[in-house]
Amino acid sequence: MESLRKCGLGGLVPQRGDSSLVAPGHPVVARIVAWISPASVFTGPAFLLVAALFSVNLTLCSFHRLTTQLALPRAERRHGPDLLHVGLIVLIVGAAWSARSATENRYTLAEGEKASLPGGEILTLRVFSFERYPDGRPKSWSSRIDLDSKGARRISDFDLRVNRPIRFGGYALYQTGYDETPVVALRGSGLDLPETLLQGSRLTGELGSIVFMAPDPDAEPGTRRFVFLADAEGGRKVVRGGHRRSGR
């Protein structure tokens, strides 16, 4: 029953979240919520203790059932439940092993950017492509990646998609999300400027400053335009630029 209660509680409250955000402005409620820890029910000691007891119980009962069945004449044996029980035990052992040994990292890359993996390998996002259905829902999105290890290219131009991860040298690489951040390409002769400016960023230089504000709400259908505020000696100007996408 404890297990059911915990599952129910954890199933109602989003997990891995910040439980302090549940009742902002109400310190007493926030303290109670933090004590119950609804956002981490399944990694808390109470649930793990119940799960451990269940696992021991399951193992002992499965062993008892299997030995009882094996004592019966062959024609009377029913091994379906044994199969299910053994499968559950394997699942629990596997989950415990994964929880102890596996680590998870997230990298957000724009096209052309690189990330260094924990083993020193270099992950490069070559191209990110995205397609939509006519109604605007995502149709497909993929990241073409390279992976270099010890100075040699191990994976070249792999098409990483949802439901199509790649496994290499103990790693499993998944494409889990995407974001579109408008970026302006700054071009100007004689200016000591970085190549790009992300939305919301301000860049200050000798000639003044520029803030990338937002996508242009008045852009014509099918076009992508963005609004910038550029302050310089000549006054404030609106600048329009292109964009590129990033994946993670």
User: Which residues contact other proteins by CB under 8 A?
Assistant: 3-4, 7-8, 10-12, 14-15, 41-42, 80, 84, 87, 91, 94-95, 98, 104, 133, 135, 137-141, 161-163, 165, 172, 174, 176
Position of tokens 């792999």? 158
Helix (H) or strand (E) run with residue 212 in it: strand 208-215
Q: Minimum distance from CB of 100 to other proteins (Å)?
A: 14
59/201 with CB nearer other proteins: 59
Token digits of residue 128: 């990110």
Helix (H, G, I), strand (E, B) or coil at 26: coil
> What does the buried/exposed string (b/e) look like for 18-38 if buried means 16 or more CB atoms within 10 Å of the residue's CB?
ebeebeeeeeeebeebeebbb
3/209 with CB nearer other proteins: 3
Token digits of residue 48: 């793990």
98/189 with CB nearer other proteins: 98
140/209 with CB nearer other proteins: 140
Q: Minimum distance from CB of 102 to other proteins (Å)?
A: 9
DSSP letter, residue 102: -
Q: Minimum distance from CB of 217 to other proteins (Å)?
A: 26
Q: Minimum distance from CB of 161 to other proteins (Å)?
A: 7
Q: Minimum distance from CB of 112 to other proteins (Å)?
A: 23
27/87 with CB nearer other proteins: 87
CA-wise closest residue to 36 among 58, 54, 12: 12
Helix (H) or strand (E) run with residue 205 in it: strand 202-205
